[in-house]
Structure 1
Amino acid sequence: MSKRNSQASKSAARERLRIERERQAKRDKAKRQVIVAGSIVAVLAIAGGIGYAVVQNNEPSKWDAAADAKVVAPANTSGKNGSTVVIGESKTDNTVHLYEDPRCPACASFEQTVGETVNKGMTDGDYKLSFTLGTFLDGNLGGEGSKNGVSALGAALNVSPEAFLEYKTALYSTKYHPEETTDDLAKDSYLIKVANTVDALKDNKKFQDAVNKGTYDAWAMKMSKTFDDAKGVDSTPTIKINDKVITNPSSVADWQKALKDAGVTK
């Protein structure tokens, strides 16, 4: 090979190498741009996710919103926000006031042991029955069963006082009252299932719609506030006869004695 040809070959080789380096540089630049763009997208996605989570955390819960919502009070209530529930026509001025929480196991035990006798005294005209329903166990144990249960009881009360009493009895029954630490009452389907054992509520579309739509959620929150503000009430059940707290009866005999001691019966 001549010297000229050798130099030409070297020049051509250098040119090819230059061109290849330029191509590689362009490919590297494009790759870096893709990586940077991907990183930006990832950062934006993370930021967006964090932002969404912050917004979600700052949004009020269903029950926080209900606490500030306009109250729809059930029928058969009175007083501010319908938070007074009094049932019965008494021949006297005697009133038995029950403070209960739907999730409360002691309330369930009281209902199972004495509830029928308590209701009979009301129907016999010995006294009126007054109810204030609390939701503090949701706060103590977590969950929404107490609040949802009170709302459903409001839906039953809207049907009739009798439906309310029968539904409350069913919710507190050995068959349907859940363990305190479970939250079955938070499920609308469970509340409706129990209601279907009560004649006035069985397949009652108006009642079911009220439960599913949370018609009485705001009322439940106001009722709960009334419970929290009640004097002399620091546990459930709390029972007052003519505004005086009594020792919770553990038997029908205890209940009858409490009524006699309070001068309600002889």
Structure 2
Amino acid sequence: MDLGPGRRVAPPRFVLRGVSEKNREGKRTARERLAVEREKQKTADRRRRTLIVGASVVCVLALAAVIGVVAANAGKDDGSEEAGPVVAPSGALGKDGLAVPVGKESAKSTLTVWEDFRCPACKSFELAYRPTLHELTESGQLKIEYHLVTLIDGNMGGTGSRNSANAAACAQDAGKFAEYHDVLFDNQPPETDDAFADNAELIELAGKVKGLDTPAFRGCVEDGTHNSWVAKSNEAFQKGRFPGTPTVLLGDKNIYQDRTMTPAKLRKMVEEANQQ
């Protein structure tokens, strides 16, 4: 406003104050928006952490469940755990009826043999000593107590050791154990071939033993009647801490570990023991 020469009036200050207030309001609004955004981000971060922790817990629980299942099933392939009652074969002897006897009960000397029908070393022992063992058992000088083991199932996988042992126990029910025992070793597959897991193969081999392939024998093999008994025999082997299969004991001496042992030496040992 012009009041004359040399006199001026400054513009009203309310205009400047209005702009300043608007600037302050804008800044305040921006800070508030920033605060809101930061709070939203914190909330999102907390939610994400919660989800990560929750997922981690689920993963841990799932892993624990898997480990539990694996642990629960560990050892089942080797026949160490079999469901059902333990049915010993006819005439089985010893603690828990785990020994299958061959030979005359009156024989003074006893040979205890732990064998696996899938075990190559067991086959080698049987083929080398079979004539002598037959001679000594048939003459009444020696009785043999066979204990059946599933060591190869446990080491290589499969069920051939168990199934063939069950079939041999079924043959014992029919009074044909010794003959079928020899047939199984004569027809043993390679160690890595689980052919004895096939019950049809075991039944076919029974045809080599006169009078063994009967409906009763077939049912016993197919039903796994003695599977739990085989498992119990294998447990006894493990508890005995034997070095492996075959384990062949004459008294307390493991003759299979004696590198100087021969069929002739075994015959002499039996004869000398019987004279005492």
TM-score (norm 2): 0.66
Change in CA separation of 1:109 and 1:225 when aligned onto 2, cut-off 3 Å: same
Q: Do the aligned partners of 2:80 and 2:231 also contact (CA within 8 Å) in 1?
A: no
Change in CA separation of 1:124 and 1:188 when aligned onto 2, cut-off 3 Å: same
Alignment partners' CA distance in 2, 1:249 and 1:115: 18
Alignment of 1:118-137 (within 5 A): 118-137=133-152
Q: Partner residue of 1:170?
A: 183
Deviations 1:29-63 (A, max 9, x none): xxxxxxxxxxxxxxxxxxxxx9xxx7997986687
Number of residue equivalences: 207
The root-mean-square deviation of aligned C-alpha atoms, in Å, is 2.9
Is residue 116 of structure 2 the alignment partner of residue 106 of structure 1? no
Report the secondary structure of 2:273's partner residue.
coil
Match 2:104 to one of 86, 89, 113: 89
Q: Partner residue of 1:149?
A: 164
Q: Do the aligned partners of 1:238 and 1:245 also contact (CA within 8 Å) in 2?
A: yes
Alignment partners' CA distance in 2, 1:64 and 1:94: 31
Shift of 1:91: 4.3
Alignment partners' CA distance in 1, 2:198 and 2:246: 23
Q: Partner residue of 1:190?
A: 201
Is residue 252 of structure 2 the alignment partner of residue 239 of structure 1? no
Q: Do the aligned partners of 1:110 and 1:250 also contact (CA within 8 Å) in 2?
A: no
Report the secondary structure of 1:239's partner residue.
strand
Alignment partners' CA distance in 2, 1:243 and 1:196: 37
Alignment partners' CA distance in 2, 1:123 and 1:251: 19
Question: What code does the residue aligned with 2:142 have?
Answer: Y
Structure 2: runs of 5+ lacking an equivalent: 1-61
Change in CA separation of 1:250 and 1:68 when aligned onto 2, cut-off 3 Å: same
Shift of 1:85: 2.4
Alignment partners' CA distance in 2, 1:109 and 1:93: 26
Alignment of 1:30-45 (within 5 A): none
Question: What code does the residue aligned with 1:120 have?
Answer: E
Question: Where has structure 1 moved over 4 Å in runs of 4 or more?
Answer: 54-66, 248-251
Q: Do the aligned partners of 1:90 and 1:122 also contact (CA within 8 Å) in 2?
A: no
Deviations 1:173-201 (A, max 9, x none): 1xx11111110111101111111101131
Match 2:224 to one of 198, 214, 217: 214
Shift of 1:137: 1.1
The structure whose Rg is larger is 2
Alignment partners' CA distance in 1, 2:198 and 2:270: 37
Alignment of 1:242-257 (within 5 A): 242-246=251-255, 247=258, 251-257=262-268
Q: Partner residue of 1:30?
A: none
Shift of 1:121: 0.5
Deviations 1:227-265 (A, max 9, x none): 22225x2111111112321126775334334435x6247
Shift of 1:210: 0.5
Q: Partner residue of 1:199?
A: 210
Deviations 1:141-199 (A, max 9, x none): 11111111111111111111xx10111100111xx111111101111011111111011
Question: What code does the residue aligned with 2:198 have?
Answer: K
Change in CA separation of 1:184 and 1:254 when aligned onto 2, cut-off 3 Å: farther
Change in CA separation of 1:124 and 1:64 when aligned onto 2, cut-off 3 Å: closer
Question: What code does the residue aligned with 1:73 have?
Answer: A
Change in CA separation of 1:58 and 1:236 when aligned onto 2, cut-off 3 Å: closer
State percent identity of aligned pairs: 31
Structure 1: runs of 5+ lacking an equivalent: 1-49
Report the secondary structure of 1:263's partner residue.
helix
Alignment partners' CA distance in 2, 1:130 and 1:62: 26
